[in-house]
Structure 1
Amino acid sequence: MNKNLSFLFKGFIFSTLLTCGLYNAQNVFSQNFNSSTTLTDYVASPASGTSNKFDGITSSGAGTTWSVEANNLTVSRTANAGSFTRISTTGTTTGQALWIEFDLSVASSTTTTNAGTLYVGDAFSATQNSGPTASSVNSRLGINFTTTSGNFTLRNITAGTNSGTLSGVQKITWVINNTGSSLTYTAPDGSTETVQSNFADVWTGTTRTFNEIGATTNGVVLKDFKFVISNGTGSITFDNFYIKSLSPTNLGVDLVKKDKTTIYAENGQINVKSETNVSSVEVYDTTGRLLKSSKSAQVSISRSSSPIVVVKVQLTDGTVITKKVKL
């Protein structure tokens, strides 16, 4: 292919990607709770301008307590309520699409619907330990307690439906689209998926749990992020938050970066080679079960675990690359 045709071909691809709404992710908030066991070290007022602080982690009265232990954030409730809030997560007033990712586990003994609820929207209070008004909420996601400690379900509050039972530590990915047009993204399982405007997809590991949850209020900007626990008896633990603002893919940068990141299996080990430092590597089987995780570029894994795995690589610049690998 001559240079002129090559240039025109690349320009056509770039134009097509933008027209179709292909998006990539840029990190705007991350926190793994590894730096301290002191709760106040994770709070700033205001937190805007930082990439890893909350505006508030609070509770109202005895019965709800927060703690940072074993490199995670845990809230325990027997009465009253508690919340964490990040104001201006995107750093703007016009956030249009967000990728919200975190590890979640639950301990409880009594079934409770909407024991905890996650909210995304605008004009939230950093100290209010109750849910924001519906008019300021774009999207909601519920967490339900069960009678078996370690098990929980997620709730599509808009439709009033629950997920299947989940257990242990689960990685939750919440993709919210408020762009005014359909959004195409690379899903946690490495596939290319689409979510319509004013809807959200929710993934558990590499399995899509909810396909297109309707918005609570259409058009509310995706600026603030909040969690409230106000029902039931139990505890909820969070870890490894990554919140990313989705923006149109820059073909020249994105494809070059992916071309320079290699993921392969050799001698019982997953290897990642990249010009950018590796933040984390997660290995899943094809059902979405997490097999191994590491902050190293090499992960030892047995072929007996699964002959084909899905490898998710997080780079320190916020880039996420997912690839199916044969062991």
Structure 2
Amino acid sequence: MKRSLLLLAFVSGSLTNAKAQYTTLFTQDFESSTAYTDYIGGANKFAYINTDNSATNTISITDGKLTFAKTDASSKASAGKSSLAATFIKASFDFSVSGNTSESGNAVIISYGNGFTSTTGNPGIGITHSRIFIAFQSVSGKFSVLPYESPALPVPTDPSLIFSGEQTISWFINNTGSAVTYPAPDGTNHNLADDSYDVWVGAGNTTATQKLIVNGHTAATGTVDLNSFKIGYVNSTGTIQLDNITVQSFTPLPVDLVSFTGENANDNIRLHWTTASELNNSHFEIERSADGKIFTTIGSLPGKGTTSTPGDYTFTDREPVQGINYYRLRQVDFNGMATESSIIAVRYTFQTDNLNVYVNNNQLTVRVQSPDAMPASLKVCDITGKRLLSAELNLQKGANAISLPADKLTNGILIGSLNIGGKVNVVKFRK
């Protein structure tokens, strides 16, 4: 008994079918004007860009970058934006410094929280969820990135933590209530606990240069919502430049589905899918449909919980329907929440007329070739899987034509399965 299978569809992407995991809340590249005041007020503009002493702390747009030049360490400047609410934030920007001549562990303070004002001072810790420091080295152009601590951590001396030139700083903050796996700048998937943050630094925002500098540091005040973003140049002297400032919200997806396919395997249909990462994944339910609309569960496989390690899964459908079979995955979290994959369609046909089932004049006729005289079990279901008829048959060797009353069968598409010696033949027919 030979069967042939044609795969009609291939699926890749998230099980939630989202096209993107990030939503941009704010972005600015300072290319539209050379006046910094033109970047205040309105969409994708700051709520404020200011200084408390314009004589010793000048603000400009230089070389297409927001530039603060300080000659007095006590003067302050800041730029901020509110109404950037989310529970998981990625804030990224290009940063460089020049003219710095003395060490400062908290020269630039960057904060994310709720209720920030336009004053040039730092927001209070009570309204700040997370905060990071940019520390100046005593050599011009060199800096480091530090997590918030009070008192401030010492300026690093480890060469691997000292940067120069323009670097992209990417700050990930989690306030979702649970751990989140996110796509990191180095191309991997990284797990971040609730109410904590990571900081990545790398030149040119390329994956090969990215370093995880701050790894899972506890938030300053975890009970504060994420809504306001502020950059403050509050200590030391020198010129800093900021560019390509972007704030994005991130929606963690339960499972990142890389592929979902089907293939012929020993008279069955074998389904195969792979995942790039998983978040709180309890299990997969495998569903099949004869019409692509009404699905029934035909099996399940346990998930891998939360992991950034790729997953590989295989499930065998031992009773595929003749014609087109539709399959989808239903991914279930530990909390019972479920999401569905896109549907793949698989055409499955017999290469011989081994089994033929049809209804005529309210009689169900089963025609089948049997290799020997033997018993067989017949089952007829509707497309929801509800059993409408079952019968035990005695087959003769060779051709068989068996008639049964069809009054219990409902109108529409039906599925007949005939078990002969452990081999199950399945056919779709219509009454």
TM-score of the pair, normalised by structure 2: 0.51
Offset of residue 214 of structure 1 = 1.1
1:137 equivalenced with 2:128 (yes/no): yes
Q: Is the 8 A contact 1:29 1:242 kept in 2?
A: yes
The secondary structure found in structure 2 opposite 1:218 is coil
Is residue 113–residue 224 contact of structure 2 (8 Å, CA) maintained in 1?
yes
Q: Quick one: which amino acid aligns to residue 14 of structure 1?
A: L
2:52 alignment counterpart: 60
2-structure distance, mates of 1:63, 1:144: 20
Decide whether aligned partners of structure 1 residues 86 and 254 sit closer, same or farther in structure 2, where only a CA change above 3 A counts: farther
Preserved contact between residue 89 and residue 250 of structure 2 (Cα < 8 Å): yes
The equivalent of 1:73 in structure 2 is: 66
Cα pair 1:158 1:213 within 8 Å, conserved = no
CA distance in 2, matches of 1:214, 1:198: 6
One-letter identity of the residue aligned with 1:153 = S
Match of 1:86 among 63, 72, 81: 81
Residue 254 of structure 1 deviates from its aligned partner by 10
Distance in 2 of aligned mates of 1:187 and 1:2? 39
Q: Which has the higher contact order (CA 8 A, sep 6+)?
A: 1
- Residue 24 of structure 2 aligns to a residue in which SS? strand
State the match for 1:153 in structure 2: 144
Contact 2:26–2:248 (8 Å) recurs in 1: yes
Verify the 8 A CA contact 1:158 1:214 in the aligned structure 2. no
Identity %: 32
Query: Among 166, 171, 174, which residue is 1:174 paired with?
Result: 171
Q: Residues 135, 254 of structure 1: CA spacing in aligned structure 2 closer, same or farther, 3 A cutoff?
A: farther
1:216 & 1:152 partners in 2: Cα distance?
22
The structure 1 residue matched to 2:92, chosen from 98, 101, 110, is 101
Q: Match for residue 200 of structure 1? A: 197
Higher helix share: 1
1:124 is the counterpart of 2:116: yes
More strand by share: 2
Letter in 1 for 2:96: S
CA distance in 1, matches of 2:5, 2:121: 62
Alpha carbons 2:180, 2:252 under 8 Å: kept: no
Task: State the 1:250 CA deviation.
Answer: 9.1
Alpha-carbon distance in structure 2 between the residues aligned to 1:236 and 1:25: 28
Does structure 1 retain, via aligned residues, the 8 Å contact 2:12–2:258?
no
Question: What is the distance in 2 between the residues matched to 1:125 and 1:118?
Answer: 14
Assess, with a 3 A threshold, how the Cα gap between structure 1 residues 216 and 250 changes in structure 2: closer, same or farther: closer
Alpha-carbon spacing, 1:165–1:10, altered in 2? closer, same or farther (3 Å): closer
Separation in structure 1 between the aligned mates of residue 5 and residue 122 of structure 2, nearest angstrom: 59
2:39 alignment partner, one of 38, 42, 61: 42
The change in CA–CA distance for 1:31 and 1:2 in structure 2 (over 3 A counts) is: farther
Partners in 1 of 2:146 and 2:61 — Cα distance?
26
Quick check: which has more Rg, 1 or 2? Answer: 2
Cα deviation for residue 104 of structure 1 reads 0.5
Within 5 A, what are the aligned runs for 1:219-234? Answer: 219-234=223-238
Map Cα deviations across residues 54-104 of structure 1 (whole Å, 9 max, x no partner): 0100011231111101111111112211111111123xxxx2110011100
Residue pair 1:145, 1:234 contacting (<8 A) in 2 also: no
Give, in angstroms, the shift of residue 10 of structure 1.
Answer: 9.0
What's the CA shift for 1:253?
A: 11
CA 1:247 to 1:215, structure 2 compared with 1: closer, same or farther past 3 Å? same
1:255-266 paired onto structure 2 within 5 Å: none
Match of 2:313 in 1: none
Distance 2:201 2:256 in 1: 31
Look up the match of 1:218: 222
User: RMSD between aligned alpha carbons?
Assistant: 3.1
Partner SS state of residue 46, structure 2: coil
| CA distance in 2: counterparts of 1:149 and 1:10, whole angstroms | 48
Residues in 2 aligned to 1:213 and 1:253: alpha-carbon distance in whole angstroms: 29
Are 1:25 and 2:22 counterparts?
Answer: yes
| TM-aligned CA deviation for residue 252 of structure 1 | 10
Count of residues in correspondence between the two structures: 238
Partners in 1 of 2:198 and 2:145 — Cα distance? Answer: 12
The residue aligned with 2:182 is 185
Does the C-alpha gap of structure 1 residues 178 and 65 become closer, same or farther in structure 2, counting only changes over 3 Å?
Answer: same
Given residue 185 of structure 2, which amino acid in structure 1 is its aligned partner?
Answer: P
Which residue is 2:417 aligned to?
A: none
Deviations 1:180-210, CA, capped at 9 Å, x for gaps: 0001111001101011011000000211111
User: 3-state DSSP class of the match of 1:248?
Assistant: coil
